[in-house]
Structure 1
Amino acid sequence: MDSVGISNLVAEPPTRSAPHRRAAFLVVAAAVFVANLDLFIVNVALPAMQQHFQGSSLATLSWVLNAYAIVFASLLVVAGRLADRVGHRTVFLAGLAVFTAASALCALAPAVGLLDGARVLQAVGAAAMMPTSLALLLDSTPPAERPGAIRSWASIGGIAAGLGPVLGGLLVEADWRWVFVVNVPVGVLALAAGARVLPRPLAKEAGPLPDLLGALLLTAAIGALAVALVKGDEWGWTSARVLGGLLASALLTAWFLRRSAHHPAPVVELPLLRVPAFAAANTAALLFTVAFAGMLLTSVLWCQHAWGYSALRTGLAIAPGPLLVPPVALGSAALVRRLGAGRLAALGTLLFAGGVGWWSATVGLQPHYATELLPGMLFTGLGVGLVLPTLIGAAAASLPPTRFATGSAVTTMARQIGAVLGVAVTVSLLGTPGGPQTALDAFRRGWAAVITAVLLAGAASLALAATRRTQRIMVATGEPAAPAAAAAPID
């Protein structure tokens, strides 16, 4: 689950009444829903933004997506640790206020640069809301009811993914700015209710401040890499600017890793990455999200640019895939027990690759939705439902309980970094093709890159299966199995 600020839960069952608990859940659910929605709804609005901001290329507008994802990924752990110090309720309400105000600024933005800046502020608010939302939910829930509360909280992201394309299409029919305006009344109502019903934690965690410089280094490293990838075709892959961006990203990453190794409250606790199953699951999640982001963006752009679909029709065309994710995720528990997490995730990557491969082999310039786009959308939806919940669960299960929350945040961060890279690579491969056949060729290159990324995710998933099998063999033969707590001595 996507949280870090839950290390300081109350030790006793809360005495809050059931109506107060339900009200707190509704506040948390509303905030988590809009934060997740902004990861999906904006994709559908990109073509409308491009028409509004005339002269803006797809590469320029890709930062409307990437600015949000980069900052969200970099600040997630920092915000969670800060909330442990100053209070979950305080940080949650502050994040919700920032997110709501930034949504209004996005809707009012007169230029792409100002829109990108407002998206950065949105991401700051979302990063503060997400780790504290689950903590507040658990703070107000009796221990016996917490597993159900966690499942309900986790399902909100799946619901947002399913409704995002359709809701985005409906709003864009009026104006693309409405994809941001819709957050404002939800945020205002949640703030008013949250100030009254959210629990006040009984204790706060002492300790060092989170590594803010480390977060800035990670932001800069991902941003430099994304710029180099997005602009590679325009600037030339061997140009000084592209090579300089790649070098800067490598140096900043090295500085970030060195700082994380020595800081008392780092953004990433590096010993976690020495747990084999955790490292394999997160590698697979990152690579799979590269593929997922590329799949979603190419689907939206193909429907609107090549087939001439409206935003609403595009949302409806895409919706069957995301709508499959929640029921498949909920129904796959028996398969995890039977096949194991690694093999089930690998199966999901094959289904996903088959769906994108179907598009590459069958999609043409004349729209044939039922036989060309829909089958691939259904296969990719099945794949996402099998892969992401399985990998998230496997990553969490590989760690000791004391590091569950922080490890979950690292997994979320890996997925957001994957989304940035997926958008950047897709934009670079699509470029600005001229005629219809050139466009089809460009999209096929994009789909080939998606298939490559998802097959690499499948290989990492099989590596996860191998680590699990190795641990079982070592336990059966009496050898020390290097448990997670020993592999990550960070308490």
Structure 2
Amino acid sequence: MTDIAPKPGLVLLVVSTAAFLASLDTFIVTIAFPGIRAAFPGDDLATLSWVLNGYTVLFAACLAPAGRLADRYGRKRLFLIGVAVFTLASAACAIAPSIPVLIGFRAVQAIGAALVMPTSLALLLTAFPPHRRPMAVGVWASVGAAAAALGPPVGGLLVEASWRWVFLVNLPICALTLLAGPRVLRESRDTGTGVPDLLGAAGLLVGVGALAYALVEAPDHGWGSPAVVAAFVVAVVALAWVPLRSARHAVPVLDLPALRVPTLWLACVTTGVFAAGFAAMLFGNVLFLTSIWHDSVLLAGLSLAPGPLMVVPVSILGGRFVHRFGPGPIVALGGVSFGLGVLIWLLRMDSTRDYASAMLPGQLLTGIGVGLILPSLSGVVGTVLPAARWGAGSSMVNTTRQIGTVLGTAVLVAIFAGTPDLTDFRHGWFLILATAVATSAGGLLIAARRRTDHHVEPPSPAAPVVSV
């Protein structure tokens, strides 16, 4: 049985701070994109788009391998390495002299973030006793969700000085994390396994990377273009091969027994569906405010702030209900709140600016929904998997979240082909509403299945080793 860290509150602070930055960087650069484009006018839009897309692609592809490596070589060690890589890459991005250099260091930044996300959740679950884990996971997941939603307002403020500040802002926070982490965190690992399947990890990297490439490039080049079709073929072949490889390897990149737990499988699918709607909502609302209401970037960012302000307090309260009722009902309730917020936009938003009675109510309701949904889905890992598989399980949930983010953004871009008008935005809100309905359905299915699920025991009886 895993020992409990003596200062779990400090563990929560350290890992949540790192998770906040990793999530924030996925979205904050979106608001800085016009400034980056103006600074490098010689590069075309297709090249510039990979400043945004490259991060998400690498982040999604590296999450699962990172979780398996952390389970084997130590979660604290991989967490601190990830923060260090993220810090150095952020500094390099801030001084990048060209777009190719910026894209390259954004990719390195994503690798660091991918090391941080699954290890941070695993370290958190190790630090807290079972009855306090729902609350702790609620805080951890809520700061990630708040970071994603705070990207536009924070980015809007920083871009007023320079686009480079969206990267420089990471440095002091990362430095404090690197100073506190070695003192606060305790090492944990699973000593019952051998060397992870690096070839399988490479296959997953190729498969997810090719899928993400196809999804983000299709709106520009066409769904039937040779490059997009080839990428889809590569993705299908690679992603079909990885489970076959995992079934034969002693330490597979995919934890197939864990995936056979219905609750975890449902949590992964529901996370991906909701992430698609969440990402589309954030991206779509920024475009709506700047193109239909003609707000400045700063005003648009500040207009989106009320939603994130709801996330953290709601997630803390929701964590208490998760401990009592389980994650499924809370996810279903969150889907209802999120859907009602989108429905208000669908019915009330038009070309005349009416923030107080049209945009704001939807912001508050969707913020409540995010605060209930994402922490509850993240907490499923700690309820149905043993400690030895927390890193791998959390990486699978986070991988589906990133894939959903890419898919949601790509579909919305396809709807907005050219210059979007009010009708295009209403089509987008309708699809986002559909993801909210599907999320509620997923929550109900999780509630129904969780009663019959049990922990999936690891092949070896060895327990995780915990040390100072």
Distance (Å, rounded) in 1 between the aligned partners of 2:317 and 2:453? 32
Distance (Å, rounded) in 2 between the aligned partners of 1:375 and 1:422? 23
* 8 Å Cα contact 1:336-1:390 kept in structure 2: yes
- Residues 78-105 of structure 1: per-residue CA shift (max 9 Å, x gap): 3344345444444333322211111122
* 1:275 alignment partner in structure 2: 261
Are residues 376 and 233 of structure 1, via their aligned partners in 2, closer, same or farther at CA, if it must alter by over 3 Å?
Answer: same
* 2:423 alignment partner in structure 1: 441
- Residues 167-219 of structure 1: per-residue CA shift (max 9 Å, x gap): 22210111122111111233344435556x35674988363222333333223
Output the amino acid matched with 1:485.
Answer: V
Distance (Å, rounded) in 2 between the aligned partners of 1:25 and 1:381? 22
Query: Could you tell me how far 1:162 is from its partner in structure 2?
Result: 5.7
- Residues 94-119 of structure 1: per-residue CA shift (max 9 Å, x gap): 32221111112222234444322211
- Residues 450-485 of structure 1: per-residue CA shift (max 9 Å, x gap): 2233333333333223324xx4xxxxxxxxx56443
Stretches of structure 1 lacking an aligned partner (at least 5 in a row): 1-6, 472-480
* 8 Å Cα contact 1:62-1:423 kept in structure 2: no
Given the alignment of the two structures, is residue 460 of structure 1 paired with residue 442 of structure 2, yes or no? Answer: yes
- Residues 347-405 of structure 1: per-residue CA shift (max 9 Å, x gap): 32232223223223332233222222212212211211222222223353233454344
Are residues 303 and 59 of structure 1, via their aligned partners in 2, closer, same or farther at CA, if it must alter by over 3 Å?
Answer: farther
* Structure 1 counterpart SS, 2:26: coil
* 1:124 alignment partner in structure 2: 111
Stretches of structure 2 lacking an aligned partner (at least 5 in a row): 462-468
* Structure 1 counterpart SS, 2:224: coil
Distance (Å, rounded) in 2 between the aligned partners of 1:221 and 1:203? 27
* 8 Å Cα contact 1:307-1:365 kept in structure 2: yes
* 2:63 alignment partner in structure 1: 76
* 1:186 alignment partner in structure 2: 173
Q: Which of 323, 345, 351 lines up with 2:309 in the alignment?
A: 323
Distance (Å, rounded) in 2 between the aligned partners of 1:202 and 1:465? 30
Q: Give the % identical residues.
A: 45
Are residues 428 and 117 of structure 1, via their aligned partners in 2, closer, same or farther at CA, if it must alter by over 3 Å?
Answer: farther
Are residues 366 and 110 of structure 1, via their aligned partners in 2, closer, same or farther at CA, if it must alter by over 3 Å?
Answer: farther
Distance (Å, rounded) in 2 between the aligned partners of 1:239 and 1:346? 39
Most deviating of 449-458 and 418-427:
449-458
* 8 Å Cα contact 1:44-1:311 kept in structure 2: yes
Query: Could you tell me how far 1:413 is from its partner in structure 2?
Result: 1.8
Given the alignment of the two structures, is residue 92 of structure 1 paired with residue 74 of structure 2, yes or no? Answer: no
Most deviating of 269-278 and 127-136:
127-136
Q: Which of 351, 361, 376 lines up with 2:362 in the alignment?
A: 376
* 8 Å Cα contact 1:161-1:323 kept in structure 2: no
Distance (Å, rounded) in 1 between the aligned partners of 2:340 and 2:130? 41
Per the normalisation by structure 2, the TM-score is 0.84
Query: Could you tell me how far 1:281 is from its partner in structure 2?
Result: 1.9
* 8 Å Cα contact 1:271-1:489 kept in structure 2: no
Query: Could you tell me how far 1:426 is from its partner in structure 2?
Result: 1.9
Q: Which of 95, 101, 119 lines up with 2:88 in the alignment?
A: 101
* 1:4 alignment partner in structure 2: none
Distance (Å, rounded) in 2 between the aligned partners of 1:191 and 1:202? 18
Larger Rg, first or second structure (1 or 2): 1
Measured on the aligned residues, the alpha-carbon RMSD in Å equals 3.5
Distance (Å, rounded) in 2 between the aligned partners of 1:170 and 1:161? 15
Distance (Å, rounded) in 1 between the aligned partners of 2:380 and 2:456? 15
Most deviating of 51-60 and 293-302:
51-60
* 2:251 alignment partner in structure 1: 265
